[in-house]
Amino acid sequence: MRRPAKDTAASHRKISRRGLIVGGLQAGFVGLLGFRMRQLQVDQADEFRFLAEENRVNIRLIPPARGEIFDRNGVAIAENEPAYRITIVREDAGDVEAVVARLGKLVELDPEELERAMTEMKRSAPFLPITVADRVTWEDISRVAVNGPALPGVTPEVGLSRHYPMGRDFAHVVGYVGPVSDRDLSRYEDPPPLLRIPRFQIGKVGVESRLEEQLRGSAGAKRVEVNAVGRVMRELSRREGTGGATVQLTIDSDLQNYVQARLGEESASVVVMDLQSGDLLTAASSPSYDPNKFVRGISVADYGLLRDNDHRPLASKTVQDAYPPGSTFKMVTVLAAMDAGLVAPDETVWCPGHLEVSGRKFHCWKRAGHGHMNLEQSLRESCDVYYYDLALKVGIERIAEMARRLGLGQAHDVPMSAVTSGLVPDKQWKQVNRGADWVIGDSVNASIGQGFVLTSPLQLAVMTARIATGRSIAPRLIKTIDGIEQPGTPGESLGLNENHLRQVRRAMYAVSNNRRGTAYGSRIIADEMRLAGKTGTSQVRNITAAERARGVTRNQDLPWERRDHALFVNFAPYDNPRIAVATVVEHGGGGSTAAAPIGRDVTLQALYGEDPPLDAYPSKDRSRIKAQQERLARERPLRGAPSSDQA
C-alpha cells in the first residue's frame, strides 16, 4: 500500500533535521578535539616538554667533604684521606659469582664484607653499584683497572674517608664517625636527604657528634640522564657542595700524647686546664682505643675486647665518670666554714683518730690520730676528724652551696659525649631521691668527699682552677670554628674572701712542699715551678671483719676492682698560677702514691712544654725519671698506635 505523498514529505523533513543535528554534534566534537589538540601541542608544549625532561633527568646528591679538626697549634687530629673501593653492577657483570671469583685472585676480599655485599646486591636494583671491597690500596686499584676487560661490571672508585692520625690519643675527645643508622635517622622529624646517601658517615661520639651540623657541610648536586628503568646514561651538570667547618680544639696534642703515654694502661684520667682562658690543654682517658677501627667497621672480636675489658677503654673518664672526690673535697668544706665565719685559720681541733657522732665512730685515716690540727695542718696531713668537726658546725646546705660555687654538681658545657653533672647532695636531694631524711652522719661523710658526693675529673680541675684564681673560670674545648675565635669564660670574681682563698692555697702548698705533707714525695724542686695540691683517696668499700680475720688488712690485699680510687688536684706555679691539673687513678689505692706522681709529671711537662730538666725533680727521683723519660721517648713516636691488647 503506497504511503501518501504528504506523509513521505514529512518523513523526509524529520530525517533531514536529525541528520543536521547529528552532523552538527559531530562537527562540534571534531572542533573541540582539534582545539584541545592544538592546546596540548602548541599552547602547553613547553610545560609538557619540561615534565618529560624531569622524567628523563634526575638530581643526585654529592656528599660534601667533612670539616677537619686540628689541635691548638694546627696539628691535624681528624682529616679526610682518599679511600679506594671496588664496586660491581650486577646486570653488567652477568655471572656475578664468576666475576667475583676472578676479582678475588687480584684483590684480597674480606669474607664478611663480601657476604654483606652479595646480600645487598640481591635486594638492590640490578643497575645499582654495590661495594665489594672498601679501603683497598692503590696497587689493588691498578690491578683491577689493568684487568678491566676480564671483570665486566667491576669499577674501581675513589672517595674521601675519615682518618685519625693521632689514633688513640684523641679517641675520647674527638670520637669517631660511622655509617648512618636507623637510630640516627630517628632523631630527626624529617631527616636531611644527605643522610640517605648509602654509606654516608656522621659523628657518633665526642666532638664529631656534638659538632655534627658544623662538620657535615652542605651537599652538592649533579644532574644525570636516566632511561625508562632509572639507569644512569650520562652526567649533564655538576655543582660541588660546601665542605664542613674547620674546627680547632684547645687541646695541645704534644701534651695530650705525653699524658696518654704516661698513663700507659692504667685505668686513669687527667685534665689540664689553662687558668687564663679556661682552655682544656689535655683531657686524657686511659686505656684508649683506635677510632679508625670504628670508621672502617670494627669486627665483633675487636669490639668484644674493648667491651669486656675491666679497665673500660671505651669510657671517656674525664667527663663521663663520677667518683667520690675523697679528701680533694676538703677545700670545699673549709671554704664553706670560713665563708660562714665559723672557723679561723689558727683554730685547732683535737684528733684522737676518730670522732663519735650519734653513737657511731667516724675514723680518721690515721688510726692513732693527728693531735691538735689547724686549717693548714689539717689539709697538709689530710686529717679527717678536723672536717668531721667542721661538718657539725657548717651543715650540708652551706657545704653544697660552696661546692656548686666552685663548679661541682653541674655538667660543664664542653662538646664531648655523656658529660656528667656529678652529684652535690643536700637535704632536698635525699628526700626526693632516697625518700629519707638527711642525718648528721651524711654531713660527716660528705665533708671528706665520701657518702653521696660524686665528681668528675673535669669538675675537679674546674674546682682547683677557681680556688687558684678566685674567678668563676669555665672550661673551653673549642678554640676556633672556621677561624672565628669561640668565646671563653675567664670568669668573674667568685665573691669569696681573698684572705680565705690565700689560706687554702698556702695549705695546698704545704701538702706538697712540707715534709709532713701527703704529697711531699711528689714535690717540684724548681722554685719557679712549685705546685700546690691536695691528695685524695676515695673509698670503694670497707674491709670487712671476716676479711680482716683472713689477713686482708690493706687495700693492696683486695682484688683490683675493690681497691680505693686515687686522686690528686693541683695548680702551678704557686706564685703565678698558670695551669690546674686533676688526676684520677681508678682503684689505684692512695692518692699520694698513685695519683700525685702522675700529676706532678704532667704539671712539669705542661709548664716546660717539653721533657723538664732532671733538676726540677727531687734528687732521689732523678734516675727513675730519666729512665721514664727515655722509655716514653721510645714509645711516643708511635703516636696514636693501639696497644697490643687492643690491636
Tens of pLDDT, residues 513-536: 999 999 999 999 999 999 999 999
Cis status of the peptide bond prior to 287, with omega within 30 of 0? yes
Q: Mean pLDDT over residues 245-266, rounded? A: 96
Parallel/antiparallel/unpaired status of strands 247-249 and 69-70: parallel
CATH dotted code for 59-249:
3.90.1310.10
Of 75-89, 126-140, 390-404, the least confident: 126-140
Q: Render pLDDT for 438-471 as a digit per residue (tens, 0 to 9).
A: 999 999 999 999 999 999 999 999 999 999 999 9
pLDDT for 317 equals 96
Question: Cβ neighbours of residue 438 under 8 Å, at least 6 residues apart?
Answer: 396, 426, 427, 430, 431
Helix (H) or strand (E) holding 12: helix 5-38
pLDDT for 644 equals 41
Question: Cβ neighbours of residue 170 under 8 Å, at least 6 residues apart?
Answer: 77, 78, 164, 251, 253, 256, 291
Q: Mean pLDDT over residues 345-370, rounded? A: 93
Burial class (CB in 10 A: 0-12, 13-18, 19+), 149: exposed
Average pLDDT, whole number, for the chain? 87
pLDDT for 51 equals 46
Answer yes or no: is pLDDT of 556 > 80.
Answer: no
pLDDT for 171 equals 96
Q: Tell me how far the alpha carbon of residue 315 is from its chain's centroid.
A: 9
Q: Delimit the CATH 3.40.710.10 region(s) of the chain.
A: 253-635
Q: Mean pLDDT over residues 133-148, rounded? A: 85
Residue type, 590: G
Q: Render pLDDT for 337-347 as a digit per residue (tens, 0 to 9).
A: 999 999 999 99
Instruction: Quickly list DSSP for 28-85.
Output: HHHHHHHHHHHIIIIITHHHHHHHHHHHHEEEEEEPPPPPPEE-TTS-EEEEEEEEEE
User: Which pLDDT band holds residue 641 (cuts at 50, 70, 90)?
Assistant: very low
Q: Mean pLDDT over residues 140-162, rounded? A: 84
pLDDT for 450 equals 95
Q: Mean pLDDT over residues 340-361, rounded? A: 93
CATH dotted code for 253-635:
3.40.710.10
User: Which pLDDT band holds residue 646 (cuts at 50, 70, 90)?
Assistant: very low
Of 127-131, 283-287, 363-367, 575-579, the least confident: 127-131
Residue 173 near residue 210, CB atoms below 8 Å:
no
**DSSP class of 409:** S
Q: Render pLDDT for 563-607 as a digit per residue (tens, 0 to 9).
A: 899 999 999 999 999 999 999 999 998 999 999 999 999 999 999
**Backbone angles phi and psi of 253, in degrees to 5:** -65, -35
Task: Give the residue carrying C-alpha cell 698558670.
Answer: 578
Q: Delimit the CATH 3.90.1310.10 region(s) of the chain.
A: 59-249
Answer yes or no: is pLDDT of 120 > 80.
Answer: no
Of 121-130, 194-203, 268-277, the least confident: 121-130
Helix (H) or strand (E) holding 431: helix 427-434
Residue 162 near residue 295, CB atoms below 8 Å:
yes
Answer yes or no: is pLDDT of 355 > 70.
Answer: yes
